[in-house]
Amino acid sequence: MAFEPPRRLVKALGETAPDGDKWLAELPSAVERAVTQRELTVERVQVPGGRSSLVLLVRRADGTPAVLKLAPRRGRPESEAAALAHWGGLGAVRLLEDDAAAGVLLLERLHPEVSVRSLAEAKALLEAAGTLRRLWVEPPSGHVFETVAERTGRQAAAMAAAAGDADVAPLVAAALAAREELLAAEPERRLLHGTFRQSKVLAGERLPWLAVGPDPVVGECAFDLARLVRDRVEDLIASPSGASITRRRIKRLAESLEVDQERLRGWTLFRAVESGVRARRVGRPTDAELLLEFAGWV
């Protein structure tokens, strides 16, 4: 099958595999194999698509619309498949078929062009938060999902390398201290989406809104909610009252989802600094500046 991977995906993979990406080079043959094995008809590649996987809009042999997703092993497709299977379509897209070892998932077709982000901000936050609440369930017995402590431990180690940079050292120190304090006593352990934001909530047929693209993790709910706090960060930074809007958003989301406000603030700080430092490291200075300015407000 002849196709061009979306530029967004190629650029993102270049950040995580700067010396070349075997998965990307083998992607055309992997797509051909996945399509042939499942007797699928490809309609088109979803553009701009994600930063860690290729998404194709397809039809099954009986004409049913579906989505074929291919991801490299470092994208943890096995973990995504396990989480989607555990949720069983409640709050999230349905998993129709998977060969997670090969990085292939066949998913229910939603409306990829319509996300919660298309709504007015207040309505978008309300709908996104309602969707997220449905995902916070007990993890399956004997699960193999990464924990918040494990994931943030890897991130903290990478952040520590930036501690010698005077421009970001105070924020890095504050973020690392917040993580240590938060992990000292987790209030609950739930299955979390892991990378939840407005653009990850798409319009569906079964339910008005369903989550897609999890990178699941087990831990406290405030960790999951923290990424939603900084949604539309470019608009927040452009607003003269961005700092006060951010603080009100933390308070409103914490109250609406019954999450401790200070714990949400702490994880919001850690996740914003981690993303900002990573953006600096891979050569996205504009993103880094926005994220670190936001973190300074928290």
Sign of CA dihedral 109, 114, 115, 116: negative
- What pLDDT digit, counting tens, does each position of 230-256 carry? 999 999 999 999 999 999 999 999 999
Q: Spell out the residues 6+ positions from residue 254 whose beta carbon is closer than 8 angstroms to its own.
A: 222, 225, 260, 261, 264
Cα–Cα distance between 184 and 190 in angstroms, integer? 17
Q: Spell out the residues 6+ positions from residue 74 whose beta carbon is closer than 8 angstroms to its own.
A: 16
Find, among 196, 31, 11, the residue nearest to 103 by Cα: 31
Cα–Cα distance between 11 and 58 in angstroms, integer? 24
Question: pTM of the predicted model, to two decimals?
Answer: 0.93
Name the phi and psi angles at 290, rounded to 5. -60, -50
Find, among 235, 261, 240, 238, the residue nearest to 250 by Cα: 261
Name the phi and psi angles at 128, rounded to 5. -65, -45
Find, among 224, 69, 80, the residue nearest to 144 by Cα: 80
DSSP secondary structure code for residue 198 in this structure: G
- pLDDT at residue 17 in the model: 64
Each residue's pLDDT, cut to its tens digit, for the chain (298 residues) gives 667 788 888 887 877 665 557 888 899 999 999 999 999 999 999 987 778 899 999 999 999 999 999 999 888 999 999 999 999 999 999 999 999 889 999 999 999 999 999 999 889 999 999 999 999 999 999 898 999 999 999 999 999 887 778 889 999 999 999 999 999 999 999 999 999 999 999 999 999 999 999 999 999 999 999 999 999 999 999 999 999 999 999 999 999 999 999 999 999 999 999 999 999 998 899 999 999 999 999 9
Structural domains in the chain, sorted by start: 7-109 (3.30.200.20), 113-297 (3.90.1200.10)
Which of 173-181's residues contact partners 24+ apart within 8 Å by CB, and which partners?
174/269, 174/273, 175/269, 175/270, 175/272, 175/273, 175/274, 175/295, 176/270, 178/266, 178/267, 178/269, 178/270, 179/152, 179/266, 179/270, 181/266
